[in-house]
Amino acid sequence: MLSPITMLTPKDIFERMKTHLLAQNAVSEDDTGSCRLRSPDGRKCAIGSLVRDEVYEAALEGVGISYYRHAHDGKLLRALYALNVNAYDPNVIELLMELEQIHDDASVDQWPHLLSALGRRHAFA
């Protein structure tokens, strides 16, 4: 008998992504300045930090997680689900979007404050 799949909780997702972003302390972007799941220099964005190497493929790039707010399926959602991140859950998508926005739009020196505030808003801290 197969054991049931245990999905990561929103708090687990937040903690993993927060830890990754603060340790990396740099944006993951390509040569044109566009944010990427994986950059040419090996950096990973907030969402990219959840995608293990054996699951990553270039076809996952190019569509931000916010696209999936209203979409019902896609390569990135399937990849995240395979990694125990229930990206089909609207609450998880919202959290992923907020974390992606911090990575993509805020300066790196603002990340600690913004991540702490996000944790408090979601009652993770």
pLDDT beyond 60 at 57:
yes
pLDDT beyond 60 at 28:
yes
**CB contact at 8 A, 60 and 28:** no
Over residues 87-108, the mean pLDDT reads 94
3-18 per-position pLDDT tens digit: 567 899 999 999 999 9
pLDDT in the model for residue 20: 97
39/114 Cα distance (integer angstroms): 23
Q: Give me the residue label for tokens 């959602």.
A: 77
60-92 per-position pLDDT tens digit: 998 888 887 777 788 899 999 999 999 889 999
Over residues 48-60, the mean pLDDT reads 92
Q: pTM (2 decimals)? A: 0.91
pLDDT in the model for residue 92: 94
53/8 Cα distance (integer angstroms): 18
